[in-house]
Structure 1
Amino acid sequence: MKTIRLTMAQALLRFLDRQVLSVDGEEIKFVRGIMGIFGHGNVTGIGEAIEREPGNLMFLQGKNEQGMVHAATAYAKQKNRRQIFACTTSIGPGALNMMTGAATATVNRIPVLLLPGDNFASRQPDPVLQQLEVPTDYSVSANDPFKAVSKFWDRIVRPEQLMSSLIQAMRVLTDPAETGAVTLALPQDVQAEAYDYPAHFFEKRVHFLQRRPAEQDAIYRAVDLIMRKQKPLIIAGGGVHYADATKELLAFAEAFGIPVAETQAGKSAIPWNHPLGVGGVGTTGTLVANRLAAEADLIIGVGTRFSDFTTASKSAFSNPYVAFLSLNVSSFDAVKMEAESVIADAKVALVALQQELAERGFLTSYADGAISEMKTEWDNEVDRLYELESDAGLTQTRALGIINGYIGSTAVVVGAAGSLPGDLHRVWRTTEPKTYHMEYGFSCMGYEISGAFGVALAEPGRDVYALVGDGSYLMLHSELVTAIQEGVKLTVLLFDNNGFQCIHNLQRDQGSDGFGNEFRLRSKETGRLDGPYMSINYSALARGLGAASYTAGTAKELEQALRDAKAEQGPVLVEIKVLPGTNTGGYDSWWNVGVPEVSVSDKVLKAHDKMQHNLRTARPY
């Protein structure tokens, strides 16, 4: 047997460089490259291997470990999970900084490969710099916490272990149902150890995205259920995009006249102006989608995990005869809401269902013009919000209207946390698939700019806009520097409303007077953070990093700033001053956040009573 003597790190790179994913007959290089921040735990192992023998793997220098994992996650998400970046760090704090990014990827079912350095397997320099010591279990390192947020985890303590571990890692990374973060902890001495690897281990290896077919019995059960119902509503989730099933979804809906609502991950699956497209559903849903959800006698979930925002904490479906049907490649997600489940690829399942229902002549029983009338009412409301003016300054919805009207139908908007995702889910108008990139599985503050960088890498032909609040911007904006370094164009639209206003609003909605969420100076009189707003020049900060920047406080200034930003060749930040509390809310929705049963505030007690009322009308599980 022919062998090749390589260090473990060299073997790792050579293997990753030769992995291919086959999707519907098309072969795609699966690992695009590696994002890394070097330290003593990986610089002489993986770092040396990348320097000397990278093959066709691109290397990107991260600026924050969490940020680069977000960028890799966004890249894979925008690529419909068909191509990934790996991420490497040193041991200790560098590794642990990736934890939040790992959780974000796993919660969203997005593949990302994490390669943190680890303690010396030999223990010769024990304890090495940045080593976490656990006196009761000396095998534990700072990488063990990744077990909780990884779909596969391993520690390579001998160079030959790499082979079996990588095969398992690729199984998870290419699995449409069980994917997420994969963590391979790499002791820094083992990275540099050599082994005679079999040459055939590094041959081109093709992994097939197998579209799981729907079992015929499951299709028959689903069809029998649908035939008994009159007012179904489809809820399109992220699985529609990952299965590349937007055309099949549209054909299915049109064949039977079924309205389509969308989750945050599913949005852009159907054009906003399609007669059957009713927009976001649930806590941040549109009025038309939430009314249809309340009336529906059947909810057909396609590629959704039915999160609490999608179901409005299980209060969105009030028809006493409502039933649930779930088309999902994951059995874990398919059984939620006690759904009748079809465990299959969304594209395959929709085609099979459509054929069977067409043979039985199924049609919905919505009154003529009923959906159109509700859509018109909602469209008028969005128009009103998009034109909403205030003498005090620029409203958030007015700013969104200007942006939505300017950036074009093919531009991608990226977001994650704060009030912006709620507004975008409700009022943002998409006409093209994959133009709405929202990380709302984990709603991780700081994802926005890192994610926009990842999207721009994945979609070099599209304009990419990161919509981020000032709170999230301060959390994490380091990968803006990486975008500058790489010459990758992205535009950061920073909504400055003086703090964490989304949670500030949530506080006040539940009886609080508002505390600890605005960016205010400490008052000498009260001793609290209720003095004047802080003055932060985000545009100057961006210029200091090397990005172009503009500031807008009026509609006219925003329009001009968007035009100027469009003309720039590199990364741009537009600082938009918006009025606090001018985001959207309500629209027949609810979110259970838990309100104190005991309080000295009558407002809090009233909010608790309201919560109890809503709980009585919501499904218990």
Structure 2
Amino acid sequence: MDTIRLTVSQALVKFLNAQYVEYDGEKKPFIKGIFTIFGHGNVLGLGQALQENPGRLEVYQGRNEQGMAHAATAFAKQKQRKQVMACTSSVGPGSANMITAAATATANQIPLLLFPSDVFATRQPDPALQQIEQTYDLSLSTNDAFRAVSKYWDRVSRPEQLMSALINAMRVLTNQADTGAVTISLPQDVQGEAWDYPLSFFQERTHFLDRYEPSKRSIQEAAALIRKKKKPFLILGGGVRYSEAADEFVQFAETFHIPFSETQAGKSCVESSHPLNVGGLGVTGNSAANELAQKADLIIGVGTRFTDFTTSSKRLYADSDVLAINLSDYHASKLDATTVISDAKMALLALKDELANYQTGYQNEIKEAKQRWAQELHRLHHIQYTETGFTPEIKSHFDHELDEYKEKLHTTLPQTTVLGCLNEWIPSDAIITCAAGSLPGDLQRMWVTKERNTYHLEYGYSCMGYEIASALGVKMAEPTKEVYALTGDGSYLMLHSELVTSIQEGYKINIILFDNSGFGCINNLQMGHGMDSFATEFRKRNKKTGQLDGEIMKINFAQSAKGYGAKTYEVHTLEELKSAVEDAKKQTVSTLIDVKVLPKTMTAGYGDSWWNVGISEISDKEQIQKEYEEKQQKLKQARQY
């Protein structure tokens, strides 16, 4: 057997360079590059290998381990899971920082390859710097925490273990039905140890992303179910995007005249203007989608995980039959559905042929529902704050005093109006990213996608801090397009470090920051369920009450980003917003637009949407008692499995 003597790190880099994927006949390198933050745990191991002979791998310097891993996740998501970035961190805190990103990737089923460094396999210098000593089990380290959030986890304690670890890593990363974070833990001493590796281990490997066809039996069963129904309703999930099955999905909907809605992962797979596209569904859905879904006699989910937001906590279409088309038998089996285990494109083509001359019973319901929503959308776009309040009236379940915010933030801008203007003013082929807070709900309802794959939302884990890092990852995947990260002030404060990496690498991203001085989404949640505002607004501590109910904090986010080298703008009016958006288009460096908006000016729920959240069974407040009782009634109307 021919061998080559390499360190574990050198062998790892050489192996990654030899990995390719082939999809629908197109072959390309699978690992584009690697994000790094070096420390004592990896700089002399994996760092040495990358410095000496990186091959075609591009090496990028991250600023925060969680941030760079989010960027890698966003890159893979925008590449339809067909190309990835790896990430390496040092031992201890550096590794721990990537755990949240690993969970985000796994929840969203996005391939993410992580190489966290680990403590010494020999245990000779124990306790090493940044090592946790668990007295009940000395084999544990920080990296064991990745087990719960990884689709595959391994620790390379001997050089020869690298081979099986990496082969299994590629198996999971290229598994379209069950992918996510892959964590290969690398003890810092083992990284530099050498071994005689077989040359065959480094031969070029092509991983075929085959399209799995449905069984004939499942297609016949699905068609028989559909034929019994008059008003089926389609849900377009992220699986349609990753299957690149948008055209087949549209043809299926058009052939049988079936309306369809979008999940956060599926939105922009098909343009919003399509006559059968009724928009977002569920808790963050609009009136058209929720109205039609509630009246449907069959729900057909294509590539969706049926999360609580998509199903309105299993209540929105509780009495309908469900047909699920999914590569994953686990996700397809939810809601006691009739299942078709298949690639989305293959299933839609087969089902279309099997249904032949079937037609639904829809008349004008789809068009009329869309027209009603269009009127509401127009209203949301044109809300203004006057001396007598909002015109037209804000759709809200509670009142809130806004004069203090108006004075402190020097703004009267409603969030929905700002979003309507941005939707009109940014380029139609620009890509927006977002993840958490009130913005994802507003965007799923309000954002009109004009071109495909221009809406990049992370909502499987709703991870605050994903927004700006994801914009960098998307820009790396789509360098010719403008990318806009829409983020709240809360998410920005949590994590915005990869803005610096974007400037370093010359990847221009645009950040539009909505500052309402608080965690507005959760403030809505607590006040909408009978609580007072408590520790969710950004207020100074009141010396009299001892609580966080003092003066509203005013932060100049534009100044913070300016210090990094970004082009920044401060916005308090629509005129200033338009000027900033237009000027930002001319810039070659990353930009940040600091938009001050009034709280309580986001959208609320539509139709029969409901979100099952924990509510106290015992309280002195009458409104909380009422909310608890209402929840019990709604639970009785929801599916139980």
Q: TM-score range by the shorter chain?
A: over 0.9
For residues 294 and 260 of structure 1, what CA distance do their matches in structure 2 show? 13
For residues 295 and 269 of structure 2, what CA distance do their matches in structure 1 show? 23
**Cα distance, 1:269 vs structure 2:** 2.1
Q: How does 1:364-513 map to 2 (within 5 A)?
A: 364-367=360-363, 369-391=364-386, 393-513=412-532
- Which residue number corresponds to residue 620 of structure 1? 640
> What whole-Å deviation, never above 9, does each CA across 1:107-161 have from its counterpart, x for those lacking one?
0000001001111111221111111111121111110111111111110011111
**Cα distance, 1:196 vs structure 2:** 1.1
- Which residue number corresponds to residue 400 of structure 2? none
**Cα distance, 1:531 vs structure 2:** 1.2
- Is the contact made by 1:246 and 1:433 (CA closer than 8 Å) also made in structure 2? no
Q: How does 1:275-286 map to 2 (within 5 A)?
A: 275-286=275-286
Which residue identity lines up with residue 457 of structure 2 in the other structure? M
> What whole-Å deviation, never above 9, does each CA across 1:320-356 have from its counterpart, x for those lacking one?
4x10000000011000011100000001101100111
- Which residue number corresponds to residue 353 of structure 1? 351
Q: How does 1:100-249 map to 2 (within 5 A)?
A: 100-249=100-249
For residues 525 and 133 of structure 1, what CA distance do their matches in structure 2 show? 44
For residues 423 and 631 of structure 2, what CA distance do their matches in structure 1 show? 35
Structure 1 stretch 122-131 or stretch 465-474: which is displaced more? 122-131
> What whole-Å deviation, never above 9, does each CA across 1:248-294 have from its counterpart, x for those lacking one?
10010000000010111111122211110000000000101000110
For residues 390 and 436 of structure 1, what CA distance do their matches in structure 2 show? 29
For residues 313 and 58 of structure 2, what CA distance do their matches in structure 1 show? 43
Please give the secondary structure, in 1, of the residue aligned with 2:32: strand
For residues 304 and 298 of structure 1, what CA distance do their matches in structure 2 show? 15
Which residue identity lines up with residue 382 of structure 1 in the other structure? L
Q: 1:552 aligned to 2:571?
A: yes
Which residue identity lines up with residue 567 of structure 1 in the other structure? K
- Is the contact made by 1:550 and 1:573 (CA closer than 8 Å) also made in structure 2? yes
Q: 1:341 aligned to 2:339?
A: yes
- Is the contact made by 2:256 and 2:358 (CA closer than 8 Å) also made in structure 1? yes
Which residue identity lines up with residue 344 of structure 2 in the other structure? A
For residues 350 and 539 of structure 2, what CA distance do their matches in structure 1 show? 57
For residues 38 and 15 of structure 2, what CA distance do their matches in structure 1 show? 21
For residues 535 and 507 of structure 1, what CA distance do their matches in structure 2 show? 23
TM-score by length of 2: 0.95
Q: How does 1:241-260 map to 2 (within 5 A)?
A: 241-260=241-260
- Which residue number corresponds to residue 573 of structure 1? 592
- Which residue number corresponds to residue 47 of structure 2? 47
> What whole-Å deviation, never above 9, does each CA across 1:431-460 have from its counterpart, x for those lacking one?
222111000000000000001110000000
Please give the secondary structure, in 1, of the residue aligned with 2:273: coil
- Which residue number corresponds to residue 538 of structure 1? 557
- Is the contact made by 1:103 and 1:181 (CA closer than 8 Å) also made in structure 2? yes
- Is the contact made by 1:594 and 1:611 (CA closer than 8 Å) also made in structure 2? no
Which residue identity lines up with residue 635 of structure 2 in the other structure? L
**Cα distance, 1:507 vs structure 2:** 0.5
Aligned pair partner of 2:624 in 589, 604, 608: 604
> What whole-Å deviation, never above 9, does each CA across 1:341-388 have from its counterpart, x for those lacking one?
000000110110011112xx1100012x22101101101111110111
For residues 632 and 452 of structure 2, what CA distance do their matches in structure 1 show? 39
- Is the contact made by 1:553 and 1:576 (CA closer than 8 Å) also made in structure 2? yes
- Is the contact made by 1:236 and 1:304 (CA closer than 8 Å) also made in structure 2? yes
- Is the contact made by 2:286 and 2:605 (CA closer than 8 Å) also made in structure 1? no
For residues 118 and 529 of structure 1, what CA distance do their matches in structure 2 show? 41
- Is the contact made by 2:34 and 2:88 (CA closer than 8 Å) also made in structure 1? yes
For residues 28 and 128 of structure 1, what CA distance do their matches in structure 2 show? 41
For residues 563 and 101 of structure 2, what CA distance do their matches in structure 1 show? 26
Which residue identity lines up with residue 466 of structure 2 in the other structure? Y
**Cα distance, 1:575 vs structure 2:** 0.3
- Is the contact made by 1:519 and 1:534 (CA closer than 8 Å) also made in structure 2? yes
For residues 594 and 183 of structure 1, what CA distance do their matches in structure 2 show? 33
- Is the contact made by 2:415 and 2:601 (CA closer than 8 Å) also made in structure 1? yes
> What whole-Å deviation, never above 9, does each CA across 1:188-234 have from its counterpart, x for those lacking one?
11110111111121111000001111000000000010011110000
**Cα distance, 1:179 vs structure 2:** 0.5
**Cα distance, 1:525 vs structure 2:** 2.1
- Residue segments in structure 2 that go unaligned for 5+ positions in a row: 387-405, 407-411
- Is the contact made by 1:115 and 1:185 (CA closer than 8 Å) also made in structure 2? yes
Deviating beyond 2 angstroms after TM superposition, the runs of 4 or more aligned structure 1 residues are none
- Is the contact made by 1:7 and 1:195 (CA closer than 8 Å) also made in structure 2? yes
Q: State the identity %.
A: 56
For residues 563 and 437 of structure 1, what CA distance do their matches in structure 2 show? 22
Please give the secondary structure, in 2, of the residue aligned with 1:143: helix
For residues 41 and 311 of structure 1, what CA distance do their matches in structure 2 show? 45
> What whole-Å deviation, never above 9, does each CA across 1:528-568 have from its counterpart, x for those lacking one?
11112111110000001111100111111111110111111
- Is the contact made by 1:173 and 1:182 (CA closer than 8 Å) also made in structure 2? yes
For residues 291 and 640 of structure 2, what CA distance do their matches in structure 1 show? 21
> What whole-Å deviation, never above 9, does each CA across 1:15-45 have from its counterpart, x for those lacking one?
0011000000000110000001001110000
Q: 1:363 aligned to 2:363?
A: no
- Which residue number corresponds to residue 6 of structure 1? 6
TM-score by length of 1: 0.98
- Is the contact made by 1:232 and 1:297 (CA closer than 8 Å) also made in structure 2? yes
- Is the contact made by 2:114 and 2:183 (CA closer than 8 Å) also made in structure 1? yes
Aligned residues: CA RMSD: 0.8
For residues 516 and 172 of structure 1, what CA distance do their matches in structure 2 show? 41
**Cα distance, 1:408 vs structure 2:** 2.1
For residues 339 and 67 of structure 1, what CA distance do their matches in structure 2 show? 37
For residues 290 and 517 of structure 2, what CA distance do their matches in structure 1 show? 31
Which residue identity lines up with residue 366 of structure 1 in the other structure? Y
- Is the contact made by 2:118 and 2:185 (CA closer than 8 Å) also made in structure 1? yes
**Cα distance, 1:612 vs structure 2:** 1.7
Which residue identity lines up with residue 117 of structure 1 in the other structure? S
For residues 190 and 257 of structure 1, what CA distance do their matches in structure 2 show? 60
- Which residue number corresponds to residue 268 of structure 1? 268
- Residue segments in structure 1 that go unaligned for 5+ positions in a row: none
